[in-house]
Structure 1
Amino acid sequence: MPVLPSWLTEPLWGQFVALLPERPEYHPDHPLGCHRPRIRDRIVFDKMLQLLRFGCSYQAIADTTCSATTIRNRRDEWIRLGVFARLKQIALESYDRIVGLVLDQIAVDGSITKAPGGGEVAGRSPVDRGKQGLKRSGMTDGYGIPLGRVLAGANRHDSPLLAPTLDRLDNLGPLPDDITVHLDAGYDSDKTRTLLDERGLHGRIAHKGEKAPIQASQRWHVERTHAWQNAFHRLARCYERRATVIDAFFDLADTIITVRSLIRQAWTTHRWDERPHRRP
């Protein structure tokens, strides 16, 4: 059974392969010109999707078609080329052009997940008996499309991560004149309000000590996006130790979420050759 449906995998691969540089099948420096052929990029790409979705180890996903070392080496090569970050940016631009990002309503919140292996951005989790954990401060538009994130240890408070998270708005091009940022009670402080005023943003912040159901504002969009991301088990229980690798997997997950939402919303308004017969 495929890890993702073909109507989602094929568009992802079509854009992904367009970002890859051309590589010869055999290494040109080999003296006999007959070295083992290079493993096809499509095989490694499918392995990366399986790793992201199932959260298993590299050794468990390796088989006769591709070794664990090849997966790691190709992953690092693509990270150096900036392929994952560029793929996510193209997905956002496509979504904005066809459907439209709801940038006048922004939601930001943090989410803590497990990080049993520790690593560069892991810390003692206050909700898991001091075990190693990972916090991501995520930002979404008014529908829940992930716009960016900041990674930190699980022991970091949400409030200091707000400024670097909002910096991700600079990569989105022209922004609306009036932007409202929806935040939970963890951001209820004068420092947060001053930060928003300096950036020309309006804040809708839940007050500490007052019951505020998540449906009372548009803050629930970012909570739903956290749930979408946690459906990828490599993000919900992260064994990666390097921040660049974790960001790459997050970029790939965010791309899948964005493209999936794009296809679902465009299904009723657009027609294309590979359009699913039923609404996804």
Structure 2
Amino acid sequence: MPHLPHPTPEQLRRDPLPLRGRTALVTGASRCGGIGHAVARRLVAYGASVYLHHHVPHDAAMPWGADRPEDVVASVRGAAPDPQQAQVLHGPGDLTEPEGPARLLAEAADALGGRVDVLVANHALSGDDGPLDAIDQQMLDRHWAVDTRSVILLVQAYARLRAELPPRTPGGRVVMMTSGQDMAGGMPGEVAYALQKGALASATRTLATSLADLAVTVNTVNPGPVDTDYLTGEAYDTVASMFPGGRWGMPDDPARLIAWLATDEAEWITGNVIDSEGGFRR
């Protein structure tokens, strides 16, 4: 079997806008301190048009609070090579509703000109969890609805939309998020969350195989502990000391990986759960 030719020198030179002409939906982008916001900024900086999903009531009920969607959009647009020309759109969505994921995907595609190339399912339910002795049916069901069911339904809607495009249209990418629940020690204080995020990690290979004929890659990223303004004081310092670099992960740390997975350079990477933990020592 003949070998593929080596890339030309021109092909080896990285395009500063590798996502030029591509479109992306990033879920869970209600705050400027979150990973979703950081991912969107990277995608826009690489030339993509981006639709930001937010569910402000969720973050507004958390200790860290929510930002105004307009402020998140302005920050993302500011990362574009030409902020005046950047297409950064946004809209709300309650993904616990059975029809919510398909409706959101359709709204994003319509806003982005009929196509979504990159789906980053970043949203998750915070709080409302506990150790094994404290969880109950309602906790499990709520985390299942947000952290797992809605993601699978989003991927389903995305796949159906991609199937309408010409065969093997390039640029199809799905990135899901997990939380290192399979690492040493697990997450015994957040059983409901760990179970549902673990389900996504386990489904990664299956989804990648399911979407392979559409030329879509599917990967899941474990960002590790990331400073998204949810921890302070001595506990914050203790976690920081568990990183060889002496600092927490910042939102842009996993965002760089996710943005790279969205580019053509990562077209051979699929079906993987990728840890981006900075050497975190559990």
Q: Give the TM-score taking structure 1 as reference length.
A: 0.27
Higher relative contact order (CA 8 A, sep 6+): 1
Larger Rg: 1
Q: Give the structure with the higher percent helix.
A: 1
